[in-house]
Amino acid sequence: MGNHRALTTLLFAGIFICGLSVCAQEKVVWSHQEKPIVEQIRGLRKLDDSVRARTTKDLALQIRQLPVVPNKLRLAGALANLSTEGDFGRDTLQEVTTTLAQALHEQPPAGKPGEPDEQYVELASLVRYEHMSAESDNPSSRRQGLGWRPMMPSARRLTSRSRISKESPGICEA
């Protein structure tokens, strides 16, 4: 009986450790183009406000130049999240908003059924609460639960009733 209990405990411990190693393997792999951007995003909070504004704007433009890959949306979302931690100027925030809108257009996330994806909510929050401009012709944005109001016949502006602020995993960690 004692051996059975010890064996069961050892088996569960082994399963737990294997589970941890599988989770560790899901770490984000950054390309050589993305790594410098990730490092700069990680260091944004350490910068003086005037330098941070310029760096944030430059990062938004660099992210826009990346090829269409999942990490592009991850980077745009992380930058958008950090860009509202202070007042870095309307032009800077608009560049960040445009970058996030472009990344969402290029590769719309699936999200959880019945819930808006956090990146769409972040974009809607920038539009509604920060008074930024973002156009979208993506019908999946409507399915994500975001409200719309007409802007032009060929484009629509995002609005939202709620704000969710989550940092993208793997980017803003120390």
pLDDT digits (tens, 9 = 90+) for 84-133: 999 999 999 999 999 999 999 999 988 788 888 899 999 999 999 999 99
Higher pLDDT: 98 or 154? It is: 98
Provide the domain limits for residue 148: 32-159
- Rounded Cα–Cα distance for residues 1 and 145 (Å): 56
**The pLDDT value given to residue 115:** 86
Amino acid, single-letter form, for residue 6:
A
Say if 43 falls within a structural domain: yes
Q: Which residues pair with 136 in a beta bridge?
A: 156
Radius of gyration of the chain (CA): 20
Q: Which residues pair with 150 in a beta bridge?
A: 156
Structural domains counted in the chain: 1
Residue 140: partners with Cβ closer than 8 Å, 6 or more residues away: 108
- Rounded Cα–Cα distance for residues 56 and 79 (Å): 7
**The pLDDT value given to residue 137:** 59
Say if 9 falls within a structural domain: no
User: Looking up tokens 């406000």, which residue turns up?
Assistant: 49
Write out pLDDT tens, residues 163-172.
333 445 556 5
Say if 38 falls within a structural domain: yes
Say if 131 falls within a structural domain: yes
pTM, whole model, 2 decimals?
0.69
Say if 7 falls within a structural domain: no
Say if 36 falls within a structural domain: yes
| Angle between helical axes of 90-106 and 49-64 (0-180°, round to 10) | 30
- Residues 21-40 have a mean pLDDT of 82
Question: If phi over 0 gives left and psi between -120 and 50 gives alpha, with beta otherwise, what is residue 30?
Answer: beta
Cα 141 versus chain centre, distance: 16
